[in-house]
Amino acid sequence: MSTPSTVAGNGFSDNAIHPVEYRRVYVWELPVRVYHWINAVALVVLCVTGYLIGAPLRAFYAAEAYQQYWFGWVRFLHFLAAFVYVFNFAARLYWGFVGNKYSHWNAFFPLKKSQQQEIVDVIKADVLETRMHGPISTGHNALAGLIYFGTFLVFVFQTITGFALYSSMSNSWLPRMFTWIVPLMGGEFAVRFWHHLFLWFFVTFVIVHVYLAFYHDYIEGRGTVSSIIGGWKFDREKSGKAGNRK
Amino acid sequence: MGQSIWNSMEQKGYSRRDFLQFCAAAATAAGFGQTGVAQVVSAFEKKEKPAVVWMHFQECTCCSESFIRASHPIVLDALLDVLSLNYSETLMAASGFQAEKSLNDTIANNKGKYIVLVEGAVPTKDDGVYCMIGGKTAESILQTVAKDAAAVIAWGSCASNGCVQAAKPNPTGATPIYKLIDKPVINVPGCPPIADVMMAVVTHLLVLGQVPALDSQGRPKEFYGRRVHDTCYRRPNYDAGLFVEAFDDENARKGYCLYKMGCKGPVTYNACSVVKWNEGTSYPIQSGHGCIGCSEAGFWDNGPFYQHLPSFPGFGIESTADTVGTVVGIATVAGVAAHAVVTNIRKRKVIAEVHAEDQKES
């Protein structure tokens, strides 16, 4: 999957005659990229419409109810995006078993000793920035993988509570499967509260996620941001230690 | 005992026509419709009048008050008349030992046939000393009464889900009755429940001799199957996005949706917007106030009445999840910005290092 290519050394060198070797690695396969962007659009729609459902705007252009339906559309969009998001997520779960090693389910659990060590390294190098260089994973690093796993749990929570709330106005089997959640959580009032609270998890997640994508690209210079468009990242090849900066 | 409802009415001088009218009204109240009238007539002609005991524990008697204001007087009169209401602290003439005897006799003479109506929660803390009648705790009375009952109905939110005395911190350990007895309990929540709903539940029990279809929380589906919101006449304003912003604004006068005023209609299962109150006169939303969700479990602890999202625990009464979320969001942006500053400082070092590396290599 990797295409060897050479990239000229950076322009700071006055005599950049010795090229630095980079290896092009196909990290994010097409289904992963498609999942990512469908998920991104669905999540933004869900967050915006979800917030509006909780705190409707004063948007009146009519005096009578029959003349407008904007709140109805907002709710419809929310439900539509929710269905897209759930099936998209289900497809991603499937891909976690058949996709390449970067998208495989075990990238999300730090079960191996090396992954656990990497978490410590990443905290030192990228979170606290106390160490100049850490090892750089080609796919998700172990800490990112673990946090994505936490995110998936929130996905599942929002799906369950969302369907539980939706079930009271639906006869279709999928939402009806979640009716038992409502009494379990102490009534629809409580379900609504938790479903609404986790909206803010996604807002926070998006801020951190987008920032970190730029951060990695900015400090590592190997195409983190473009990788989710084209799928390729770049590994620097040097004295048989591919994957490490040093 | 041993008499049917028809026998008893006949003896009191009611005509056959009165009886049939009563049956039709009862069938309507219980939601059987026209085809069910024959069933009701047959049941009331043949079935024995059931003995009924009405227990009062931790409550305010608003359920009883509601019940005696049922909007079909003929059904109500007849029900109070035809039911052998053998024990009810508020409605019976007897008192003291007489009352106790009446209760004990009813239980002894009607084993497995009498109906128990319970109003109020039962305190369980400190051996139940917080509610005692005739020297016995509410819980022991409940256990005695419920043991041989044909059916148990929990009137109101107290008996169904604890209501105000079970609100945090629940000092008396008030407990809804379905948690205390082994029998299935018909929960008829509300503070109080709608009179006509109460009557209809009793009628259903009398006519069919079986418990009506219940939902997962033990509530009769026919009355608690839909949200107040779904049947609310202001619902079109909700879908249109026309909301009341303040109780005295123009939108309130126009009768827009009360969602932003904290109306709990969207999370409350009850028949208020269909059956209405006081002989179908009105219900809270119709008179301009949001629903407070009185028939939902734990409604006293579900945050302020005028917010449709609860307060966030530990952050003061006015803070909703949105306030907390906004603070977390801002903190995240601040954290990210600080990180970005450090990253830029670090990047200079990285650039210098890469530069040096390239020099060395060449």
User: What are the pLDDT digits (tens) for B111-156?
Assistant: 888 889 999 999 999 998 999 988 899 999 999 999 999 899 999 9
Q: Residue B307 region, left (φ>0) first, then alpha (ψ -120 to 50), else beta?
A: beta
CB atoms B322 and A54 under 8 Å: yes
Question: Would you give the DSSP letter of residue B119?
Answer: E
Count CB pairs under 8 A between chains A and B: 154
d(CA A204, CA A212): 12
Nearest Cα of chain A lies from the Cα of B262 at a distance, in angstroms, of: 11
Q: Provide the total of helices (H) and of strands (E) in chain A, helices listed first.
A: 9, 3
Nearest Cα of chain A lies from the Cα of B306 at a distance, in angstroms, of: 13
pLDDT score for B65: 87
The residues near A107 (Cβ < 8 Å, ≥ 6 apart) are: A101, A139, A140, A145
Q: Where are the alpha helices (DSSP H) in A67-220?
A: 70-98, 113-122, 142-167, 173-176, 181-184, 188-197, 199-220
pLDDT of B251 above 80: yes
The residues near B289 (Cβ < 8 Å, ≥ 6 apart) are: B258
Nearest to A10 among B298, B322, B354 (CB): B354
- Closest residue of A to B258, CA-based? A56
Sheet with A20-26, strands from edge to edge, namely A3-7, A20-26, A232-237
- Spell out which residues of chain A touch residue B176, defining contact as CB-CB under 8 Å: none
What part of B 252-281 touches A (C-beta under 8 Å)? 254, 259-260, 264, 266-268
A3-57+67-237 maps to CATH 1.20.140.10:
no
Q: How confident is the model at residue B1 (pLDDT cuts 50, 70, 90)?
A: very low
d(CA A46, CA B269): 26
Residues of chain A with pLDDT under 70: 1-20, 132-135, 238-246
Top-confidence range, A22-26, B16-20, B270-274: B270-274
Q: How many CB atoms lie within 10 A of CB B116?
A: 27
pLDDT score for A48: 95
**Quick one: which H or E segment has residue B185?**
strand B185-188
CB atoms B302 and A187 under 8 Å: yes
- Closest residue of A to B250, CA-based? A63
Residues of chain B with CATH 4.10.480.10: 235-301
Residues of chain B with CATH 3.40.50.700: 5-222
Residues B57 and B121: beta-carbon distance below 8 Å:
yes
Averaged pLDDT, B247-256: 90
- Spell out which residues of chain B touch residue A189, defining contact as CB-CB under 8 Å: 264, 267, 293, 296, 298-299, 302-303, 310
pLDDT score for A12: 46
Whether the upstream peptide bond of residue B192 has omega within 30° of 0, thus cis, is: yes
d(CA B36, CA B27): 6
Closest CA to B208 of B27, B73, B33: B27
What whole-number percentage of chain B has pLDDT above 90? 36
Tokens coding B159: 């008996």
The rounded mean pLDDT for chain B is 86
Q: Any idea where the domains of chain A sit in the sequence?
A: 3-57+67-237
What part of B 188-217 touches A (C-beta under 8 Å)? 216-217
Pairing of β B122-123 and β B174-175: antiparallel
Nearest Cα of chain B lies from the Cα of A186 at a distance, in angstroms, of: 7
d(CA B163, CA B168): 10
The residues near B77 (Cβ < 8 Å, ≥ 6 apart) are: none
Whether the upstream peptide bond of residue B169 has omega within 30° of 0, thus cis, is: yes
What Cα–Cα distance (Å) separates residue A104 from each residue in A23, A136, A151, A222, B347?
22, 18, 16, 22, 32
Closest CA to A183 of B66, B187, B55: B187
CA A62 to mean position of chain CA atoms: 40
pLDDT one-digit tens code per residue, B299-335: 888 878 888 777 776 666 667 788 888 888 999 999 8
Instruction: Tell me the CATH number of domain B235-301, given options 3.20.20.80, 4.10.480.10, 3.30.70.260, 2.60.40.3140.
Output: 4.10.480.10
Nearest to B260 among A56, A59, A215 (CB): A56
d(CA B47, CA B2): 9
Q: Residue B254 region, left (φ>0) first, then alpha (ψ -120 to 50), else beta?
A: alpha
Beta strands in B272-313 (DSSP E): none
Lowest mean pLDDT among A9-13, B222-226, B254-258, B286-290: A9-13
Fold of B5-222: Rossmann fold (3.40.50)
pLDDT one-digit tens code per residue, B47-89: 777 788 889 999 999 998 888 887 766 666 666 666 667 788 7
Lowest mean pLDDT among B3-12, B40-49, B255-264, B353-362: B353-362
> Position B45: which residue type?
E
Closest CA to B234 of B285, B287, B300, B185: B285
pLDDT one-digit tens code per residue, B353-362: 777 777 776 6
Nearest Cα of chain B lies from the Cα of A91 at a distance, in angstroms, of: 30
What part of B 44-83 touches A (C-beta under 8 Å)? none
- Spell out which residues of chain B touch residue A12, defining contact as CB-CB under 8 Å: 351, 354-355, 358
With H, G, I as helix, E, B as strand and everything else as coil, classify residue B42.
helix
pLDDT score for B355: 79
Q: Where are the alpha helices (DSSP H) in B209-319?
A: 221-224, 235-240, 250-254, 272-275
Averaged pLDDT, B15-35: 82
Q: Provide the total of helices (H) and of strands (E) in chain B, helices listed first.
A: 14, 9
pLDDT score for B290: 93
